[in-house]
Amino acid sequence: MSFDRRAFLKTAAGGLGVAALATLNRALATPAHHRTGTIRDVEHVVILTQENRAFDHYFGTLPGVRGFGDPRPLRLLNGQTVWRQPSDQHPDGFVQPFHADSRTANAYVVDGADQHHTAATLLVNGGRYDHWGESKQMDRRMAYYTAADLPFYHALASSFTVLDAYHCSTLTQTYPNRMHMMTGCNGGGAVGGDPVMTNYGHDETPWADMAADQPITPYAWTTYPERLEKAGVSWKVYQEYDNYCDNILSVFAPYRPCPRDSNLYRRGRAWVSEGRPEPDRSRSDGTQLVEAFRRDIASGQLPQVSWIVTAQALSEHPEGVPAAGEHLTARLIAALVEHPEVFSKTVFMINYDEAGGFYDHMPPPMPPADASRGHSGVSVAGEFKDYSNHPHPMVRGVQPIGMGIRVPAIIVSPWTRGGYVCSQLFDHTSTLMFLEKRFGVREPNISPWRRAVAGDLTACFDFKTPNAETHSLGLPDTADYLDRIAHAARQPTLRIPATQVAAVQDPARRLARALPYRLAVDGGVVDGRFRVTLVNQGEVGAVFTLHDYAAYAPAAPRHYTLTPGERHVADLFAMEDVRDYDLVVHGPNGFYRRFRGHRERAGGLTAAVSETGTGGLAVQLRNDGAKPLSVTLTGEPAYPFAFVEGAETAALPPGGEARLVLDPSASDHWYAFRLTHDADKRWSAQFAGHVETGRVSRTDPGIGKMVLNA
């Protein structure tokens, strides 16, 4: 089923009883500036970074994204899926995501949960991802919204391009994440210092006014705006008097203090109403922010790079209300669209600095701390924090600083229209890498590991033929946001439901951007040991996580980073030391492998799956045992394919081989199948993922097709 954006937006607007905003409808119809057919056609980049929301928390029900309908989510050690987080806050013994319905509960004002690095390290648990209930805050953590609660954001994500593999940079709070956004690191990275993992506080820069700065020891490494300034690239931070301490530049030495007649002050510390008399001088309701943004656009003064910092009440931080943030975002985009000649050359990015303690089901990609925890083909320097003296045994030791939890991200521009999903791995440094690509100003603070695995966002764009299709769909108005907020505030307190039900995601499919991945992972017994072979034939680095579910003594997850062209072989354990094995590998964009078996039958069948290079899959089978085998390949119903070579069943004599070639084009080159054989009912190998063709595809056909609880 294809995704009908028109029907979706009509439903969203109809639920609100409001008309589409004409100016935002024009955004979908405005042709892109198309002079070179490259990123050079972009003349302005605007980055709006809001506060403290997780991807599933906002977009888990959005069609096409890897949300609540993920067909192959992580499995916990207790056998449940990642949705059912162990907790004593419910008689079921677990809490799963529940709808924060703004129509029937006071759901807009939901306190965030603990997101300090040590707390986040505990809940991630090395990749097992099973300690969300540790903090006793599941009545907050597990709440999520739908299109009925966030109509504008869902419509925006369905009309432009949503990024469903965008993670915040660190497993912690605002400051370290915004440091990655504006400086490339948080003191680790290429800077080589001890990474900053906490906020300074909320009183060292209480307002935008530099005169109110409190004494601190400011950070000393170079920020990206300084590099832009030196290179002659125009830039600006748009902020009101109340900036919620979110202008991270204010805690760096060159800006604290800086001469008021300097560009660093005018562009990095000044606020939009600074020259006005009170009460306007300190008024921070978004009006003056939008006015200043609109004024610069109209006068031809919009910088090449802009960062927007909002007031606390508009930031969507849990003390704030998402609907108020929607309304501000709509006004900012409308200000751009009022000038089509500017919007046609502008990229408007929306992201969130961190997840705020809210739940997302995708464990963050991580580098290995040492060889016993995996492998990295690129340096991981600057990516760890030493907690050798920490009292909690699950935190004690050297811990990765990130990546962090998935956060919402949308790119609004004439090059990203059409309701696409882009599933390449990104983090906050990706915004800097996009700016590097466009303006040629390099950020050396970005660590080698992030530069290898995080994309530069260009996969989200169609620069070559952006005007091949016209779009005129309309987006819901946000002018009723105060009514929606007031209605929710009159409803009962939000609580964990007494009867828990699985969250449901719309199974409709979306257009999907082409990705630079070409991956393979195979597993089997070699010389008495279980060996996993990981291969990256793609254009970018890739992160895999291997989970061991063996009943005898499950090992901690292992993390593997492979650079382009790299092949890595890992001998995991001697078969004489185990009884049963059950290993799962997760990788980018739904890549999945599972290997199950028993030592008494080990060494029979080996199977290797690789891409053919022409959009197909080759399955190579070999019988290393002493008895004949009948091997069966069974596909999942949501992923139809055709046999180009071979058939569903292959007969292999001792020492025999067979080659099967599959054509998955009927499922838009997605695949999911299982291999079994008649000599051992406990042996199986599962393979799932997507074969990239370099062309636009559609999203995973298995998303939303099944409700998984265990």
pLDDT mean over 128-147? 93
Do 548 and 363 touch, CB atoms closer than 8 A?
no
Residue type, 216: I
State the Cα–Cα distance between residues 122 and 135, nearest whole angstrom.
Answer: 10
CB 556 within 8 A of CB 128: yes
In DSSP notation, 251-283 reads GBGGGTT--TTSHHHHHHT--TTTTSPTTGGG-
Whole-number percent of the chain with pLDDT over 70: 93
HSE, CB side, 13 Å, CA atoms: give it for residue 487. Answer: 12
- The burial class, CB within 10 Å (0-12 / 13-18 / 19+), for 52 is buried
What are the φ and ψ backbone dihedral angles of 512, each rounded to 5 degrees? -125, 135
**Other CB atoms closer than 10 Å to residue 369's CB: what's the count?**
18
CA–CA gap between residue 678 and residue 218 (Å, rounded): 67
pLDDT, tens only, 496-523: 999 999 999 999 999 999 999 999 999 9
353-409 pLDDT tens trace: 999 999 999 999 999 998 889 999 999 999 999 999 988 888 899 999 999 999 999
Domain 26-70+85-386+398-490 classification at class level: alpha beta
Tokens (6 digits) for 685: 């190998």
Q: Which helix (H) or strand (E) holds 434?
A: helix 429-439
Q: Which residues pair with 237 in a beta bridge?
A: 307
Per-residue pLDDT, 203? 64
Q: What is the mean pLDDT of the chain?
A: 91
**Dist CA 471 CA 390 (whole Å):** 55
Q: Is the pLDDT of residue 9 over 50?
A: no
Query: In the predicted model, what is the mean pLDDT of residues 335-345?
Result: 95
- The pLDDT score that the predictor gives to residue 8 is 37
Check if the beta carbon of residue 220 is closer than 8 Å to that of residue 286: no
> Per mean pLDDT, which range of 59-68, 161-170, 543-552 is the poorest?
543-552
Which residues are paired to 46 by β-bridges?
306, 348
Closest residue by Cα to residue 450 from 422, 429, 435: 429
* Domain range summary for the chain, segments of one domain joined by +: 26-70+85-386+398-490, 515-694
Phi, psi of 596 (to 5 degrees): -130, 145
> Which two tokens mark 144?
């999520």
Which tokens sit at 94?
């677990």
Q: Could you give the CA distance from residue 122 to residue 229 in angstroms, rounded to a whole number?
A: 40
Averaged over 238-261, what is the pLDDT? 95
User: Is residue 77 over pLDDT 60?
Assistant: yes
What does the radius of gyration of the chain's CA atoms come to, in whole angstroms? 25
Question: Which residues, in sequence order, are bridge partners of residue 573?
Answer: 530
**How many C-beta atoms surround the C-beta of residue 35 within 10 A?**
10
Give the model's pLDDT for residue 515.
99
Least confident range from 149-153, 346-350, 699-703: namely: 149-153
Distance CA(520)–CA(533), nearest Å, equals 8
Its pTM stands at 0.95
